[in-house]
Structure 1
């Protein structure tokens, strides 16, 4: 049986934390902008740090596991 927890959590966080898709920190005009579909180098770095922190919490601290099938 394969553990699909890390794959699923990583995919969901990657989609949600893509800079400019749902939100962008820092934005071009304000600190946080929602749905502007733009990005910058600084926002990529910030979103990567947030992604790393959340993935570490979910996979290492909490230990999310999902097993599929018999």
Structure 2
């Protein structure tokens, strides 16, 4: 029986929730450089948050090597 690596799935899900533009913070915002919890977004903010998501996910999964194995 083979075990499944759930590390990348769990890390990606948590990062997706935390880095949703406007949920916790938005970088850049419409009026300032950064706003917290405004629930409004723009195309540039989506692009910035996507790049942040990819970079942090790559660092955590590939460079650090987070692995969670389920039987």
What TM-score results when the alignment is normalised by the length of structure 1?
A: 0.95
The structure whose residues are more often strand, as a share, is 2
Count of aligned residue pairs for this structure pair:
69
Across the aligned residues of Structure 1 and Structure 2, the Cα RMSD in angstroms comes to 0.7
Aligned to 1:4: 6
Q: Which ranges in structure 1 are unaligned for 5 or more consecutive residues?
A: none
Q: Which ranges in structure 2 are unaligned for 5 or more consecutive residues?
A: none
List, as ranges, runs of 4+ consecutive aligned residues in structure 1 with deviation greater than 2 Å: none
What TM-score results when the alignment is normalised by the length of structure 2?
A: 0.94
